[in-house]
Amino acid sequence: MDNLSRKIRIIVADDSAIYRNNICFMLNLQNDMVVVAEAENGWAAIEQVKNHQPDILLIDIRMPIVDGINAAKDVVAKFPRVKVLGMSAHGDCGYGEILKQHGAWGYLDKASVLADLLSTIRKAYQQ
């Protein structure tokens, strides 16, 4: 099955339930995307990736238990097929570069418009 004939499988990891629920709702409205799991911290994100083998992990940088950078680093090392997209409401603060150094695909500011988020997810999936 080629990349265009199936939905992009996504895990959304964010400690804010309201933000996580809104992002999941918007992603699930897309014809080519499906949220397969959610996580409220970095440790749960790693476990969800292990259980669901998504195409994309959309992960907040600042989270309890295991932060998003360390979770991303772990996911990239153990599941290299999963594209990791970090995100934060605190601006870049160098997070994008740190994530790329650890093998993540990219970084998004949470203030980005929905079109930017969707476009970035699609680009990551296609590469």
Q: Residue 60's domain is classified under what CATH number?
A: 3.40.50.2300
pLDDT value of position 111: 72
Does residue 105 form part of some domain? yes
Asked whether residue 122 is assigned to any structural domain, the reply reads no
pTM: 0.88
Which residue stretches of the chain have pLDDT < 50? 1-3
Supply the pLDDT for residue 96: 64
**Which residue in 28, 34, 86, 77 sits closest to 57, CA to CA?**
86
Q: Decide if 52 is inside a domain.
A: yes
Give the torsion sign (CA, 88, 28, 39, 78). Answer: negative
